[in-house]
Every structure is written in C-alpha cells, then in structure tokens.
C-alpha cells in the first residue's frame, strides 16, 4: 500500500482523532440497568473507570433500614481503556512519538480489547450475582444494556486500530524499500 504524502498525513490524523473521540465517549452513558423495560440506573464510562455509587438498591433485604450504599471499585477493563485513550493522545502530542505506529497499534489494541472485555465482564457479573442468590434479588428480570457511549468508544478504538495497522504496514514497506535501495546490486558485483 502506497500513500501520497497528503494521504499519509490525513490518514495519520485518524489515530489521535480516535483517541479524542474515545475520551469524550467516556463521559456518555455506557450502560443502563433495566428491569421490565424500566431504566433503574445509568452508568457512564468515567463512572465505570473511576468507581461509582449506584442509584438503586438491588439487595434482597427489605427489613434493614436504608443505609448509604458503598461505592463500587473501578472496573479494570474500563480503567485500562480510559488510560489507553489518554496514552494514545499523549503519544501524539509528543512529536518524537508520532511516527511510532507499532506503539500506537498496541495501545489501540489494548483499548479495543478492554472495551470488548468490559461488556463481557458486566454481563457475567450480573449473571453471577443472579445465580449466587446473594446480592441481587433473583425474582427481578434485571438486564444490562450497552448504550451509545460504549459503542462510540469501542468503534473509535477499532477505527484507530485499523488506521494504526495500515500506517504500521506502510512504515514497514517504506523502511524495506529504503534498505533495498541501499543494497548493492549483487548481479553487477558478480560480473
């Protein structure tokens, strides 16, 4: 794949743009907790990454007086994706790091993988809570629905990953062509 210099510069902006969109997406709703079609709570990406206090009480205990609910710990997948978005943007702001496409690719891969892991982690945590019968009242049909904020961040990381793969492959081809042009012609040396 060969780019003109203008195409290369335009394509190169996809990586930091994807990180900016991902960072902004963390301020949107990532998931809703629903019961029979009624939204009980919404959780943003920032809340998942930094920890949050739920707006609802899903415990089985109706006898105990209402107490202040504990704050949930940060979700490791959300936190790592948030850090990946910040790191990807920070690397672009350092001029010497802008052309380190392999590093950008690894960061985008971590961010995308963490977003996929986040969805499975949230779904399995709810299923585990329901099946253990401990924390969540199993009589309630409670579900997690992933919301646009989650999908925007996931898509941003995916597009950033694709852009970084293409840029990395282009960079490798340019380096290989440069090395090939510096090699002496073996046929002319033999004759």
CATH number at residue 145: 1.20.140.150
**Cα(124)–Cα(119) distance, integer angstroms:** 9
Q: Whats the size of the chain, residue-wise?
A: 191
Mean per-residue pLDDT for 80-104?
Answer: 92
CB-based contacts of 166-175 (< 8 A; 24+ apart in sequence): 166/1, 166/11, 167/8, 167/11, 167/12, 167/15, 167/101, 167/104, 168/101, 168/102, 168/104, 168/105, 169/1, 170/1, 170/2, 170/3, 170/8, 171/99, 171/101, 173/1, 173/2
> Domain of 156?
5-53+71-179
| Mean pLDDT over the full length of the chain | 83
Does residue 59 form part of some domain? no
Q: How many domains does the chain have?
A: 1
Does residue 75 form part of some domain? yes
* For residue 66, pLDDT beyond 80: no
**Cα(61)–Cα(186) distance, integer angstroms:** 82
Does residue 189 form part of some domain? no
Mean per-residue pLDDT for 91-97?
Answer: 90
Check residue 161 and give its pLDDT. 93
Does residue 44 form part of some domain? yes
| pLDDT > 90 fraction of the chain, expressed in percent and rounded | 42
111-115, 146-150, 176-180: segment of lowest average pLDDT: 176-180
Does residue 184 form part of some domain? no
Does residue 63 form part of some domain? no
Does residue 125 form part of some domain? yes
Predicted TM-score (pTM) above 0.75: yes
Does residue 116 form part of some domain? yes
Residue 176: band (very low, low, confident or very high) from pLDDT cuts 50, 70, 90: confident
Sequence-ordered list of residues with C-beta below 8 angstroms from that of 20, at least 6 positions apart, any chain:
89
Residue 13: band (very low, low, confident or very high) from pLDDT cuts 50, 70, 90: confident
Helices of type H across the chain:
5-12, 14-25, 45-50, 76-93, 101-132, 148-182, 186-190
Residue 185: band (very low, low, confident or very high) from pLDDT cuts 50, 70, 90: low
């Amino acid at each position: 794949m060969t780019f003109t210099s203008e195409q290369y510069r335009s394509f190169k902006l996809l990586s930091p743009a994807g990180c900016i969109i991902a960072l902004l997406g963390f301020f949107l709703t990532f998931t809703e907790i629903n019961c029979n079609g009624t939204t009980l709570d919404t959780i943003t990406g920032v809340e998942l990454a930094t920890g949050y206090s739920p707006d609802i009480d899903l415990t089985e205990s109706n006898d105990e007086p209402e107490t202040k609910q504990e704050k949930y710990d940060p979700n490791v997948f959300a936190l790592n994706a948030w850090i990946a978005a910040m790191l990807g943007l920070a690397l672009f702001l350092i001029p010497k790091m802008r052309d380190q496409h392999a590093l950008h690719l690894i960061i985008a891969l971590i961010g995308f993988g963490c977003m996929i892991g986040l969805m499975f982690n949230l779904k399995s945590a709810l299923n585990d809570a329901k099946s253990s019968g401990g924390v969540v009242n199993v009589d309630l049909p409670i579900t997690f629905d992933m919301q646009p904020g989650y999908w925007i961040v996931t898509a941003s990381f995916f597009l950033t990953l694709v852009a970084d793969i293409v840029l990395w492959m282009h960079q490798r081809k340019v380096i290989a062509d440069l090395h090939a042009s510096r090699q002496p012609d073996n046929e002319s040396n033999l004759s």
